[in-house]
Each structure stands twice: as C-alpha cells, then as structure tokens.
C-alpha cells in the first residue's frame, strides 16, 4: 500500500518535499513565536505558561530548521550525483539564502542563550524592571532577524530574483533594521510606556513621535534623492 502511495515520486521529489516541510514548519513557528511574544508582554509580564509556549515554539522552529538544512544538503548532493556539479552555487539568490540561513542559526543561538534565560529568570516580573528593559533592544533585534530571515528565505526560494547577492542582502538588512527599530519603539513607547500619564501627555507624545518620524523619513528621502542625483550627474 505504501509503495502505491509513493509510486511516481522520485528521490528528488521526496527530498524537496522534506525541504518544503521544514521551511513551512520553521516559518510558521517563527511567525507564531513573534506574535506570541507581543501578545504575552501586553500585560507587562510573561507568565510561566507563556514562557513554556515560547519555549515550545522554539523547539518547533529548530525541528523545522534541522529538517530544512538536512534536506537542503540532500538537494545539493542529489544535484551533484545526477548532474556532476552543483549549479546552485552560481545563483545569487542561493548565495543570499545561505548567508541568511547562517544568520538564522546565529540568531537562534543568541535567542536561546541570552533572551530565553533572561525571560525565564524574570517570570511574572514587571518587564519594566531595569535588567529586562535594558535588553529590549535584544528582544527587538532577535525577533526582527528571526521573522525577516525566515520570510526572506521563502521569498528568495519562490521568486528567485535575478539581482546581485549584495543587492539582495542590502534589502534584507534594511528590512531587519526597520523591523527591529519598529519592534523596539513598540516595546518602549507603546507596550511599556510610562505608568502614569494623562491623555493630554499621551497625545502630545504621539504628536512629537509623529513629527520626528516624518522629519526622519523626509530627511532620508531627500538624502537618497540627492545621492542618486549626484551619482547620475
């Protein structure tokens, strides 16, 4: 019966299926993990149960990651055995995928050795405690790297853009920078904002934040257009 099921499936299809399954599990886990984190900290502390969920989500991501890596190596080996060479190396999108996969690995190690233990040591504590709040940047950075990297890998595999590897990585880093900045500002200015504020103060701060953001964005756009103009002329 089993042989009937796999009839028509060649080795390549099986390895590719495993690769896709690993990627799907990992991307799903990373997306869920980030959403779970923001949901958990809404009440300004992380409970034991919430920590367990985050920990379990991490296990799911690692399982998917391992499956994706092993099957990815399998695909390369298969191409080498069948074709005598690995042509993937020459593709910029594949090189970018490799770099991003390494970033995922390093980010995962940092998350499990720095971030999760920190949360574990402060279960139930107010997250505005100095030791935790000082590390908000790390929370934002690892979160952004995780989600952006996983989705980047999926998009690269699906779209196979015909751009130089540096161009792809530049965009990737730019999205991470924007994402981590957004995550950090969410943590410090929205979720863990000052305790006591009246509505007027909040309104005033929101207006200030809006004005400064607009000024920053307009400045960068002017700088960008100016640079392009100088470059062209």
Binding site for another protein (CB under 8 A): 128-130, 133-134, 136-137, 140, 163-164, 166-167, 170-171, 173-174, 177-178, 180-181, 184-185, 188-189, 192-196, 216, 220, 223-224, 227-228, 231-232
Give the residue among 187, 51, 192 at the shortest CA–CA distance from 120: 51
Select 117 or 164, whichever has its Cβ closest to another protein: 164
| Minimum separation from the CB atom of position 112 to another protein (A) | 21
Structure tokens of 174? 């730019």
Select 88 or 192, whichever has its Cβ closest to another protein: 192
Tell the residue number behind the tokens 């994706």, with chain if given.
68
| Minimum separation from the CB atom of position 24 to another protein (A) | 29
> Which whole-number Å values give the CA distances from 85 to 10, 71, 103, 120, 172, in the listed order?
19, 18, 26, 47, 29
Question: Could you say which DSSP state residue 90 is in?
Answer: G
Structure tokens of 114? 């720095």
Question: Helix, strand, coil shares of the chain as percentages rounded to 5?
Answer: 85, 0, 15
Give the residue among 186, 164, 181 at the shortest CA–CA distance from 217: 181
- Report how far residue 191's alpha carbon sits from residue 43's, in angstroms, rounded to the nearest whole number: 8
| Minimum separation from the CB atom of position 232 to another protein (A) | 7
Select 6 or 222, whichever has its Cβ closest to another protein: 222
| Minimum separation from the CB atom of position 216 to another protein (A) | 6
| Minimum separation from the CB atom of position 34 to another protein (A) | 18
Select 82 or 223, whichever has its Cβ closest to another protein: 223
Select 80 or 178, whichever has its Cβ closest to another protein: 178
């Amino acid at each position: 019966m089993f042989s009937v099921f796999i009839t028509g499936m060649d080795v390549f299809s099986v390895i590719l299926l495993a690769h896709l399954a690993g990627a799907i599990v990992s991307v799903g886990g990373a997306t869920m993990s980030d959403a779970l984190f923001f949901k958990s900290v809404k009440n300004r502390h992380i409970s034991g149960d919430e920590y367990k969920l985050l920990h379990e989500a991490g296990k799911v991501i690692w399982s998917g990651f391992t499956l994706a890596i092993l099957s990815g190596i399998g695909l390369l080996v298969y191409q080498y055995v069948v074709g005598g060479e690995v042509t993937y190396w020459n593709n910029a999108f594949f090189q970018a995928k490799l770099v991003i996969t390494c970033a995922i690995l390093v980010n995962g190690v940092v998350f499990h050795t720095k971030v999760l233990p920190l949360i574990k040591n402060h279960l139930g504590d107010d997250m505005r405690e100095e030791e935790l709040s000082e590390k908000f940047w790390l929370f934002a950075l690892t979160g952004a790297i995780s989600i952006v990297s996983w989705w980047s890998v999926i998009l690269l595999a699906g779209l196979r853009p015909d751009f130089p590897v540096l161009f792809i990585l530049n965009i990737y880093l730019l999205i991470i920078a924007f994402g981590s900045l957004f995550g950090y500002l969410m943590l410090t200015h929205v979720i863990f904002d000052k305790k006591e504020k009246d509505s007027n103060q909040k309104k005033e701060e929101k207006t200030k934040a809006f004005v400064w953001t607009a000024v920053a964005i307009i400045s960068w756009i002017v700088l960008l257009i100016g640079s392009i103009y100088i470059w062209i002329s």
